[in-house]
Amino acid sequence: MVQSDSTDFSTLYEENHRTVYHFLLKISGDPEVSEDLTQEAFLKAFTFFAKFDPKIASFSTWTCSIAKNLYFKHYNKQKKEFGNLSIGDLVIDIEVNPEIPENLEKAFLEKAIKDSIESLPEPEKSIILFKELERKTLKETALALGISERTVSRRLISAVSLLREKMESQGLQF
């Protein structure tokens, strides 16, 4: 795609900024990291905007792919610096109003699911977050993660199986 001017990119940025931010937030669980990496992803997208081809992927899929790569780079750097820091340690607890009992069970289940997803190994975790929670197609997920659709399918099956095991070990039915 030929970059016509910065207004085209500005429009795409406005339309897709929140999608990329929320994708990163689901992966990282950290609003600050998500905001920083979102800005970095769009800066990189702007730099390589001439290489963007809408016939291959949507702009949101392309920028989420860039963001995912930046997150893995960030995650690996953090892991080297801080050892085996669990991403689950960075997850913000779900806020609950304890005076409303019906919210307690829902909050408990949401937290258990979130914690279980956060504890999955990285390829499976990304696939569940992108494919299931972001409701992307196999093709969009494959493009964003830089793997084949078949690999996405296989890893999704593996991820769901791992998630089921983790939840059942906590006494929850999946």
Query: What CATH number is associated with residue 23?
Result: 1.10.1740.10
Domain boundary among 52, 86, 120: 86
Q: Are residues 71 and 103 in the same domain?
A: no
Domain boundary among 86, 119, 136: 86
Q: What is the pLDDT of residues 26-70, one digit of tens each?
A: 888 888 888 989 999 999 999 888 888 889 888 988 998 899 888
Q: Are residues 98 and 143 in the same domain?
A: yes
Q: Are residues 25 and 65 in the same domain?
A: yes
Please check whether residue 38 is in contact with residue 24, taking contact to mean a CB–CB distance below 8 angstroms: yes
The 3-state DSSP class for residue 112 equals helix
Q: Write the burial class of residue 135 (CB in 10 Å: 0-12 exposed, 13-18 middle, 19+ buried).
A: exposed
Lookup: tokens for 122: 């990285």
CATH of the domain at 104: 1.10.10.10
Q: Are residues 63 and 133 in the same domain?
A: no
For the chain, the domain total comes to 2
So what's the pLDDT on residue 106? 65
Q: Are residues 80 and 136 in the same domain?
A: no
Q: Are residues 31 and 104 in the same domain?
A: no
Q: Examine the pLDDT at 132 and tell me if it is beyond 80.
A: no
Q: Are residues 166 and 103 in the same domain?
A: yes
Domain boundary among 45, 70, 86: 86
So what's the pLDDT on residue 108? 67
**What does the alpha-carbon distance between residue 107 and residue 166 come to, in Å, rounded to a whole number?**
18
Please check whether residue 26 is in contact with residue 134, taking contact to mean a CB–CB distance below 8 angstroms: yes
Please check whether residue 128 is in contact with residue 159, taking contact to mean a CB–CB distance below 8 angstroms: yes
Q: Are residues 81 and 98 in the same domain?
A: no
Q: Are residues 82 and 1 in the same domain?
A: yes
Q: What is the mean pLDDT of the chain?
A: 76
Please check whether residue 33 is in contact with residue 24, taking contact to mean a CB–CB distance below 8 angstroms: yes
Residue 111 lies in domain = 94-173
So what's the pLDDT on residue 103? 57
The 3-state DSSP class for residue 73 equals helix
